[in-house]
Amino acid sequence: MLTKHLQRFSRRSNELPDAALVELVDVVFRALPPIAIMGVTMVGIGALLTIRTGDSLLLLVTLAGAAVSAARIALMLLYRRRRAASRPTASEARWWDRRYALGSFAFAALLGALNARALTAEAAVADVMLSPMLVTTLILAYGAGVVTRLSARPHICLGSVTLATIPTVAGFGMRALGAEGWYAQTVFATQAAVVGVFAMAGLGLVDDFYDTVRQQIVAKLDLAALAGRDHLTGLANRIRLQEKLEEAGAHLEQAGGLFALHYLDLDRFKEVNDNFGHITGDALLQAVAERLTQTVREGDTVARLGGDEFVIIQLGIQVAEEAELLGRRIVQAIGAPYDLGGRKIQIGVSGGVALAPRDGTRLEQLVSCADSALYRTKRKGRGERAFWGEEGAQLPRSVA
């Protein structure tokens, strides 16, 4: 049954949209204080029981718990540093998710081992009240915290609670079997049942918690997508373009290289609007958007700023010639004839290009530079491309 639950939760996680997965992983990694508090609590209780019992195995488990807690805190701090630089991709989020799961499972297993040892060690058995009281407090606090905090990643929640609870219940069961008298046996058996029932009840809520969180995040992402989309073409608008540019700038600081901003203006679009009407003009803009999307690589961004003006962010280039090659492909793609409502229409496109970080990294800087280059191409003639600064400036490229 447990395996079926894990498989079901894992399958549901794999079915999430990438953006929703990134958000859910981010939710989990925000909870640094509970991780630190639980780690300190486990180590403190383990140290207290070790001093009380002198048990060397308890000492080893406590030290291992301290090491795992420190590693988990370090992992969360590393994630925060990565998140501050830029939003993780879906593949990166999965990598962080797996590391978090390993740390959570390791800590849960050590917590369960600590509880079981504390309940069954000879010296602990002689101390009737202390170890059961501390173990009960520890496991209930842990279970409540995990269910509340990790419902966003239910497979991690289920595995962690199970790894911590089963050894604890087993420890109470062994304590009940070794107790003298029916009263002590009943008390320890009841504690075992209470811990088990609380764990199952908490896990029963995980489904509802997860569905609620998932729906909220998906709704949030849907609203953000609508706010960042051009209503006519479905391309990114200025809001989304700004976000993509910030991500590109953060990646530039980490990996180096260049990225290019292409500022495009359609040639003869006004003639189409005047001669055939706005409905045909809108259809043409949608067709242009589709061709631009097919021309760029995955990861590049195509945006419409309004009217017949488009912007492309070309990522991951090393030399300016790569931007020039994309510019040529754009001219060829947009210049091919369109069949709109039985009419053969042909337009062109002119473009200006700015390179980051040479020409700046902020949207206003790059658009201004690319727009100036575009203006220069318009003076030369239609269907031309120009880089900002190519007149009187030495560029790391050659234009054929």
222 is catalytic: no
**Cβ partners under 8 Å of residue 203, min gap 6:** 147, 157, 158, 161
User: 199: which 2 tokens?
Assistant: 């764990």
Question: How crowded is residue 27: how many other Cβ atoms within 10 Å of its Cβ?
Answer: 16
Q: Is 298 helix (H, G, I), strand (E, B) or coil?
A: coil
**Cβ partners under 8 Å of residue 303, min gap 6:** 230, 235, 236, 237, 238, 240, 241, 244, 310, 311, 312, 313
- 388, 354 contact by CB (below 8 A): yes
Amino acid in the structure at residue 99: R
Q: Is the previous residue joined to 17 through a cis bond, with omega within 30 degrees of 0?
A: no
- 261, 362 contact by CB (below 8 A): no
**Which member of 55, 230, 308, 371 is catalytic?**
308
List the one residue out of 242, 170, 244, 155 whose CA is nearest residue 207.
Answer: 155
Catalytic residues: 308
